[in-house]
């Protein structure tokens, strides 16, 4: 089983659901504050704040269980180490220093 890695350019459901947590929390807070301002009985923010945790948890569950059908993986392929494979070449990062060797 291959490990899932988020990809910004992928359009699968799990990658698109990546940014849903904070908007969901803000919408929930706005809804609770609206109910409090409208004077709905028993909906004071001090009594309903656990709803923010529940909605946030549900958003996280959705993020982690969304299907990855059509996922585009841009991670570099792993070297198999078998015959015929060229050994990985390590390149030193470019340096601004001048070498007099």
**Which pLDDT score, from 0 to 100, does residue 27 have?**
92
The two three-digit tokens of residue 35, written as one number: 């109910």
The answer for residues whose C-beta is within 8 angstroms of residue 36's C-beta and 6 or more apart is 43, 44, 45
User: Does the residue 76 lie in any domain?
Assistant: no
The alpha carbon torsion through 42, 47, 52, 55 (nearest 10 deg) reads: -60
Domain residue limits at 54: 18-65
Residue at 47 is within a domain: yes
Mean pLDDT by 10 residues, the chain (101 residues): 68 79 90 85 77 90 82 66 57 68 64
Which tokens go with 80?
Answer: 């198999």
What gap in Å lies between CA 66 and CA 13, rounded to an integer? Answer: 6
13 in a domain, yes or no? Answer: no
Please report where in the chains the tokens 């409090």 appear, as a residue: 36
Instruction: Let me know if residue 24 belongs to a domain.
Output: yes
**Structural domain contains residue 91:** no
Total domains in the fold of the chain: 1
Q: How far is CA 46 from CA 23, 33, 41, 81, 82, in A?
A: 21, 11, 13, 59, 62
């Amino acid at each position: 089983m291959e490990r899932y890695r988020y990809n910004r350019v992928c359009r699968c459901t799990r990658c698109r659901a990546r940014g849903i947590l904070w908007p969901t929390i803000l919408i929930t807070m706005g809804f609770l504050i609206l109910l409090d301002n409208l004077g709905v009985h028993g909906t004071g923010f001090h009594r309903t704040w656990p709803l923010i945790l529940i909605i946030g948890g549900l958003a996280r569950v959705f993020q982690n269980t969304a299907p990855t059908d059509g996922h585009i993986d841009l991670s570099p392929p792993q070297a198999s180490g078998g015959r015929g494979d060229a050994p990985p070449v390590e390149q030193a990062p470019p340096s601004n220093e001048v070498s007099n060797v």
